Structure 1
Amino acid sequence: MELPLISADNMFGLMFAFLGLAAFGFWSERTRLGQWLSGVVLTILAGTLLANLRVVPFASPFHDMVWTYAVSLAIPLLLFHADIRKLISEAGMMIAAFAVAVAGTVAGVLAGFYLIDLGPDANRIAATLGASWIGGSMNFAAVAQALGLNENGALIATMAATDAVVMVVFMAAILTMAGSRALLRFIPSKIIEAGDDGVAHKEEAKPPLDMGALATLLFLAAACAFGGRLIGEMLGMPGYSVLFITLIALALANLFPAYLAKLRGGFDLGMFFMYVFFGVIGAGADVVLMVQTAMPIFFFVLVMATVHLAVVLAGAKIFRIDLAEALIASNAVAVGPATAAAMAASQRWRLLVTPGVLLGVFGYAIANFIGVGLAGFLG
């Protein structure tokens, strides 16, 4: 096989390539194509292109470093605002919608697992994708690492790429549902019928960069990662360190919410680490091997998404949940807080922006545990 332009042992060359991919991902979010496909999808595709053009290797010590360190730091940074008391006080009935959406994903995982043959790693594949559809890409990475799937770069890349493709279709589907008059007759919505709340909302100016806050957040994230891995090793469960990292981060978020609220930029920093991770995922994709394994995974994710939506709509009807609240909760669970907030804002459902973010972050908080639990149950 032809050697890549940047060899596997060229650490600075690989840093140049993958930090460039992260920068590309953030930039692409502001483009029309990026808003349609998402920066995540474009970063994964760009990483795949670089690897298959033999610019970067499919695997390297740098890849392993990103899996081990970048993901472990990203988990706390994305969870430091998961204040459960704030969620309960501000989300209201959307907590019920969130529970229904999580149940929908779990039901989708079970349906897909028993309907689609995913091979010898079926329980781990299903659990990892299920975690992604309860939390997000951070949970995909964490559960894959906990279950040992990160050792198979081609499989992980196939799962991530397929997941991203179905996610785009899913987003298009729920946006269409938001404007469906027929669906409104089946599941009423006072929020949709009211339209804009009539309040002028100015886009908040971002505060200036605070290096002291970022340094403190990195220190706290490293403390969570250190503590989580230490506990995992002491209990003889090093593979499940991500769960202990998650628990420590949640404990800090709920013991010191006011202090952490003052430290801005942590979520963005966590997403930076995740974008480097997306590039690594894409670069692990040998397209020839991907084609051989993609179809079963594609049909699994399609079944999971379909069942998720069916359960969300049925639950909204049975429990008389407002259609807008059900769709934002579904978005927060299946895709994440950023897209849930963006959808609520774009539809002029102003009152649902904050609950959408809170529920999305709470999805991050619980998805690792549900994913690992599903793997054990299905195994």
Structure 2
Amino acid sequence: MTLPLIQADNMFGLLFAFLGLAAFGFWSERTRLGLWVSGVILTIFAGMLLANLRIVPFASPFHDMVWAYVVPLAIPLLLFKADLKKILPESGKMLLAFVIAVLGTVAGVLVGFAVIDMGPAGHLVAGALGASWIGGSMNFAAVSTANGLVADGTLTAATAAADNVMAAFFIAFLLMLPGLAWLLRLIPSKIIEQEIHAHEHPEEEKEPVLDMGALALQLFLAAACCFVGFETAALLGIPKYGVLFVTVNALLIANIFPRQMHKLEGGFTLGMFFMYLFFGVIGAAADIVLMVETAMPIFLFVFIMAAVHIAIVLAGAKLFRIDLAEALVISNTVAVGPATAAAMAAGKRWHGLVTPGVMFGVLGYAVANFIGVALTQWLG
């Protein structure tokens, strides 16, 4: 028998495997385990399992295609509703909390990098993780592509695994904090006091109608953003930073045509589907034996980064009298992403924080690529 079972040149076999992983990721988000550890982590580890059982290869042209084409296409799809003009007037002190949380992540990257030796590619890892803990997995993918971390598949997979596992523990920690009486005395929260005993349940969201015309238009615009972005980077002599120009193009469309883009449904979901393909690929790129030898310093780095981040967020909330609930939701949306921040706010019945949590998550998506690349260059 020739291993892996699905060879690197078998494109339909790899489509079968990785589209299955993406479907598994979406399905797992609705399970009890998926709600606890997230579909992202489950998809990454399912990809690892397939590769290390020698069902799919660790590397293939399909892997390269996902990195080169699928991830850049996902970026605009996830940013097309980033109407930044809505964020400032609706934010209150949450904009200040957002700035503090971003600074907390940057400080955590600097402290972790100073304390933990992650080898010669440590600055690439630090930059990608810094972007992830300001925006999310999309930004991890974009900065990993821009700074060249993707050249080492095992290191990329180890970094992504450490990132997502620590994120799961971080979410659990944030959910625990509002129940600490001493913390509420230290950082008061009218939101928690008013709604902690509320019994109403959040309304169920209606499933959006599938509009193929809207999806086709958004895919066209995403491809246009990528085409213009990478051509611009090539003309400037910096082709590996094409994803930054893709981000700029997507933000320009979102903010020049906010009403038109708001009417287009399904793009964000399609972008997340592309990202689940990416999650499966980075999991399948991991040789577990090599990853265990490589990942421990990265786990320690992420732990230090997360600890510094939350310490600065709580200190900033105390100093600037920011509501504890607002600070925790912003910490979640910066460190993990808008989806988990919205879920946290809804689950805690802080209904007024659901929308700001999503909006600031989008703002995190918008700035994280630039900060991640800047951190990579600085630390390198």
| Short-chain TM bin | over 0.9
Verify the 8 A CA contact 2:202 2:346 in the aligned structure 1: no
1:86 counterpart residue number: 86
- Superposed, 1:299-378 pairs within 5 Å as 299-378=300-379
Q: Output aligned runs, 1:103-114, within 5 Å.
A: 103-114=103-114
CA-to-partner distance for each residue in 1:99-148, whole Å, 9 max, x for gaps? 11000000000000000001101111101101000000000000000001
Q: SS state of the match for residue 91, structure 1? A: coil
Maintained 8 Å contact 2:100/2:316: yes
Cα distance between partner residues in 2 of 1:101 and 1:81 = 22
| Mapped contact 1:2–1:54 kept (Cα < 8 A) | no
Question: What's 1:248 paired with?
Answer: 249
Q: What displacement does 1:2 show? A: 6.2
1:93-104 equivalence runs, <5 A:
93-104=93-104
The answer to whether 1:185 aligns with 2:185 is yes
3-state SS in 1 of match to 2:30: coil
Contact 1:98 1:333 in 2 (8 A): yes
1:178 positional shift = 1.8
**Residue type of the partner of 1:79?**
L
* 164-173 vs 237-246, greater mean Cα deviation: 164-173
1:224 counterpart residue number: 225
In the alignment, the residues of structure 2 paired with residue 2 and residue 130 of structure 1 have an alpha-carbon distance, to the nearest angstrom, of 40
In structure 2, how many angstroms separate the alpha carbons of the residues matched to 1:205 and 1:120?
49
> Match of 2:116, as an amino acid?
I
Structure 1 residue 200: Cα displacement: 7.1
Equivalent residue of 1:89, what SS? coil
> 1:91: Cα distance to partner?
1.9
**Aligned 1:153-302 pairs, distance under 5 A:** 153-195=153-195, 201-302=202-303
Does the aligned pair in 2 maintain the 1:118–1:297 contact within 8 Å?
A: yes
SS state at 1:157 partner: helix
The amino acid that maps onto 1:29 is E
Alpha-carbon deviation of 1:88?
Answer: 1.1
Cα deviation for residue 53 of structure 1 reads 0.3
SS of structure 2 residue aligned to 1:292: helix
Moved over 3 A (4+): 196-201
Secondary structure, aligned partner of 1:81:
coil
What does the per-residue CA deviation read over 1:38-96, in whole Å, with 9 as the maximum and x for residues that have no partner? 00000000000000000000000000000011101100001111111111122221111
SS at the partner of 1:96? helix
Indicate conservation of the 8 Å contact 2:77/2:270, yes or no.
yes
Number of aligned residues: 379
What residue identity is the alignment partner of 2:342? A
For 2:182 and 2:269, locate their aligned partners in 1 and report how far apart those are by CA, in whole Å. Answer: 39
Provide the rounded CA distance (Å) in 1 between the counterparts of 2:313 and 2:118: 25
Partner of 1:25: 25
Counterpart-to-counterpart distance in 2, 1:306 and 1:356: 21
| Preserved CA contact (<8 Å) 2:6 2:57 | yes
Equivalent in the alignment of 1:150: 150
Q: 2:48 corresponds to which residue? A: 48
CA drift of 1:181 comes to: 1.1
Matched letter for residue 238 of structure 2? M
Q: 1:202: Cα distance to partner?
A: 2.5
Question: Cα RMSD over matched residues?
Answer: 1.3
Q: Relative to structure 1, is the Cα distance of residues 199 and 5 closer, same or farther in structure 2, using a 3 angstrom cutoff? A: closer
Aligned partners of 2:202 and 2:349 also within 8 Å: no
- CA drift of 1:206 comes to 2.0
Q: Distance in 2 between matches of 1:201 and 1:26?
A: 22
2:155 and 2:291 in contact (8 A); partners too: yes
Q: Is the 8 A contact 2:9 2:61 kept in 1?
A: yes
Q: Report deviation, 1:293.
A: 0.6
- The answer for the alignment partner of 1:60 in structure 2 is 60
Matched-pair contact (CA < 8 Å) for 2:208–2:266: no
SS across alignment from 2:240 = helix
Higher mean C-alpha displacement, 180-189 vs 193-202: 193-202
Equivalent residue of 2:87, what SS? helix
Q: 1:299 to 1:278 in 2, by over 3 A?
A: same
Q: Is the 8 A contact 1:58 1:283 kept in 2?
A: yes
Question: Tell me, what secondary structure is at the counterpart of 1:311?
Answer: helix
In 2, Cα distance between equivalents of 1:233 and 1:109: 30
- Cα distance, 1:3 vs. partner? 2.4
Q: Secondary structure at the match of 2:88?
A: helix
Once the two structures are TM-superposed, the CA of residue 207 in structure 1 deviates from its matched residue by 2.6
CA distance in structure 2 between the aligned counterparts of 1:73 and 1:99, rounded to whole angstroms: 28
Moved more, 205-214 or 363-372: 205-214
Structure 1: distance between partners of 2:200 and 2:20 = 40
- Amino acid across the alignment from 1:30: R
Separation (CA, whole Å) in 1 of partners of 2:205 and 2:108: 38
SS in 1 for 2:118: coil
- Name the % identity: 67
Q: How has the CA–CA distance of structure 1 residues 238 and 186 changed in structure 2, closer, same or farther, with 3 Å as cutoff?
A: same
Query: How far off is 1:291 after superposition?
Result: 1.0
